[in-house]
Amino acid sequence: MLVARRCNVPCSAALEMARDFKSKHPTFISVAYPSYVKNSTASVSVKFMRTHIKRSMQVVTIKHKNESWPAKLIKFPWDHGKLSGWFPFARATSLCEGDVCVFELTKRSPTVLEV
């Protein structure tokens, strides 16, 4: 799920919509901060990484609508995570600062994160 501020949804409302989103799959929320939009990495919640990601690095596929992009999930020793290589997704979806993404872990092997 991608909630875009350019759709005139205030950031706080977009974040609330993302938090209210219900899925049968594990999820994490990522707000597009300026560094995320300009660079190639985004943070992934400690809870999601600790619960669902076992390896220190794994290749994943980010899917949105009918498109997909390869990326890497990197798990640090303290369970903090980074989604590396997400810039092509951000560029293709015209992600802007303040947009909110809900990533769903829809497949574990190979790992697929749907937005």
Would you state the pLDDT for residue 7?
A: 55
* Contact predicate 43/81, CB 8 Å: yes
What residues have CB less than 8 Å from 33, skipping those under 6 apart?
97
Would you state the pLDDT for residue 82?
A: 93
Residue-wise pLDDT for 59-108, tens only, equals: 999 999 999 999 999 999 887 899 998 889 988 988 888 888 999 999 99
Domain that holds residue 38: 2-114
As beta bridge partners, residue 108 has 111
pLDDT band for position 8 (cuts 50, 70, 90): low
Q: What is the CATH number of the domain that holds 68?
A: 2.40.330.10
Residue-wise pLDDT for 28-50, tens only, equals: 999 888 777 777 788 999 999 99
What residues have CB less than 8 Å from 17, skipping those under 6 apart?
3, 9, 100
Q: How many domains does the chain have?
A: 1
